[in-house]
Amino acid sequence: MPNDQAPSPTIGGAVNDAARFWEPWRLIYNAILIVATLSWFLATWPHFRPLLKMSTFVLLAILAMLANLCYSAAYLLDVPLQLSSLSALWRRRRWALWLAGTAFAVALANYWIADEIYPFVR
């Protein structure tokens, strides 16, 4: 009796597939966040001039690392869904998670700059 089902993916295969999908998009995610941040600096340039010091760049580097750590959380959803019976549907629709996560990251970055940083710059 032939087996009509595709072979079940392994965890290693699912992780490799996830990396092949998510890592190229990480570059675009970071570019979008950089554009959002630079837009604030350029649009309100005289206001942010006092922030141009080394401690600010260290803080920006830490925030960028945290943004990339949050980006990596997609693997926590992607790998189990690839191992589930929904894997075929998930692979066709996971771009929606990327889009929603990127939109959330931009909204969070804008909130952080507008509410936490902008009011306190002297």
Question: pLDDT digit string (tens) for 7-25?
Answer: 667 999 999 999 999 999 9
Instruction: Examine residue 10 and state whether it is found in any structural domain, yes or no.
Output: no
Cα distances from 61 to residues 55, 68, 89, in angstroms, run 10, 11, 36
Q: 63-79 burial by CB neighbour count: b if 16+ within 10 A, else e?
A: eeeeeeeebeebeeebb
37 pLDDT higher than 90: yes
Kindly state the DSSP code that residue 118 receives in the 8-state scheme: G
What pTM does this model have? 0.85
**Domain-located, residue 2:** no
Within a domain: 4: no
Cβ neighbourhood burial of 33 (10 Å; 0-12, 13-18, 19+): buried
Domain annotation covers residue 9: no
Question: Is residue 61 situated within a structural domain?
Answer: yes
Q: What is the residue type of 44?
A: T
Is residue 3 a part of any domain in this protein?
no
Domain count, the chain: 1
Within-domain flag for 59: yes
What's the mean pLDDT when you consider all of the chain?
A: 90
